[in-house]
Amino acid sequence: MKLLYTSIILICIACNFINADFSHQVTLDQNSNFRLSWDIVNNDFIVFRVEANVKTWIGIGWYCTGCTGSKMAMMNADFTIGQFNSSGFLSVHDMVNGQYEPGQPVDDTTRGGTYDILSSSGYQIDGYSVMIFSKKLNTGDTRDHSIDPSQPFNMLWAYGPVQNNNLDEHPRTQAGQVTIDLLGNENKVIVVDSGNNLLRWHGSFMLIAFGVLMPMAIFTARYLKSYTWWFPLHMFLQTFAFIFMIVAFGLVIKHLDGLPLKSGHGIIGLILVILTFIAMILGGVSHLLWKKDRKTTPLFPDIIHHYQGRLVFLLSVAVIITGIIKYNSVPISNPFVICFSILIGLYISIVVYLEVVEKLNPNSNSIPLDNMK
């Protein structure tokens, strides 16, 4: 009977909290205005409100008291996820990721646990989703992590692909991992997610390396050989492109706490790094072996280096495009997409123009491949 009364009270509390002010609130993501609010009731229950200016699923998770997660952020975490149907009605999932289950969270009940959400309410309209739920601080469920308000609350937050209420994987820029004080007096705290910042810097360095420096290096080798300074400029551009690429690769390793081998984008990126390093070596060997009086261009290393450089650039386009798609829910509106598209369009226009001019004027100053040094 006591449990029945408590449940009725919590249901009323959850309904009342739809538009009420909570004692504690943090803003976890400024892009989506993802906010977490909470109140602790009788030192026995906690009521959370999760809201964001998005139309997709929203959720939070947390680790056991004193835990800070693992190399894979979602592993061994307790989750509550709000999913909405086409009419905007809310379904709240009590979910878990086990210690050896790093993939998508699954319902507690499929892993021997119980459904421990005592009450819930919420709704979704265009551009806004809200979920309120309550549960005991210690549910007694072996698949749950108890919450100790006196200890740091190590938590996760995420929301799904825009305009998609299926429980599909969220883009990495739409999730984060933070530690908050459940008893803190702050009414609103902006939490900066350094992981997302690392990804933005990663994208910026890759765009500079392969959207600016690498094309300029190829352009120099292809069209500026009539000038004596073409080779130093070519090496200068290639070297800095390589440095920017290594920095970008180091940032993503730090973000993932390991090599990016769990996605097609990461694997292609690793191949790109290896091929770029090989291209740099071949370029150096070609320079050392070049002889002014040679009659033909050798297959190794000159011709291989010539075509591998172009292969590296084409592969870099694939890496940048797959990265934008993977980490952004609306890629077409991303500034990286706009800048990269403009650059690629500009490069294609210039190359087509120069190639046409060269064919129409075969006696122009264009230098053949053999005269590389």
Q: Tell me the domain boundaries of the chain.
A: 2-192, 195-360
> Which residues touch 371 (CB under 8 Å, ≥6 apart)?
225
**Dihedral through CA 137, CA 140, CA 143, CA 148, nearest 10?**
30
Q: What is the rounded distance in angstroms from the CA atom of residue 314 to the CA atom of residue 122?
A: 47
| 301: preceding bond cis by omega (within 30 degrees) | yes
CB atoms within 10 A of CB 311: 13
Left if phi > 0, otherwise alpha if psi is -120 to 50, otherwise beta: which for 292?
alpha
Q: Per-residue pLDDT for the chain (373 aa), expressed as one digit of tens each?
A: 555 445 554 455 545 555 567 889 999 888 889 999 999 999 999 999 999 999 999 999 998 766 654 445 677 789 999 999 999 999 999 999 865 555 678 899 988 899 999 999 999 998 899 999 999 999 999 888 999 999 989 889 999 987 788 888 887 778 888 888 898 755 555 555 556 678 888 988 998 999 899 999 999 988 888 888 999 999 999 999 999 999 999 998 887 777 888 778 889 999 999 999 999 999 889 888 888 888 888 899 889 998 988 899 899 988 988 887 776 655 555 676 777 788 888 888 988 888 888 788 766 555 444 444 4
- Residue at 210: amino acid letter: F
2-192 is classed in which CATH architecture? Sandwich (2.60)
Closest CA to 160 of 236, 59, 85, 275: 59
Closest CA to 81 of 89, 92, 71, 90: 92
Sheet of strand 175-180, all strands in order from the earlier edge strand to the far edge: 106-107, 90-96, 78-84, 58-62, 153-159, 175-180
> Which residues touch 114 (CB under 8 Å, ≥6 apart)?
108, 139, 141, 143
Q: Contact at 8 Å (CB) between 56 and 164?
A: yes
User: Domain spanning 195-360 has what CATH number?
Assistant: 1.20.120.1770
What are the contacts of 268-271 at 24+ separation with CB within 8 A? 268/315, 268/318, 268/319, 268/322, 269/319, 269/323, 271/315
SS3 assignment for 286-339: HHHHCCCCCCCCCHHHHHHHHHHHHHHHHHHHHHHHHHHHHHCCCHHHCHHHHH
Residue labelled with tokens 């706490």: 257
- Secondary structure tally for the chain: helices H, strands E: 7, 11
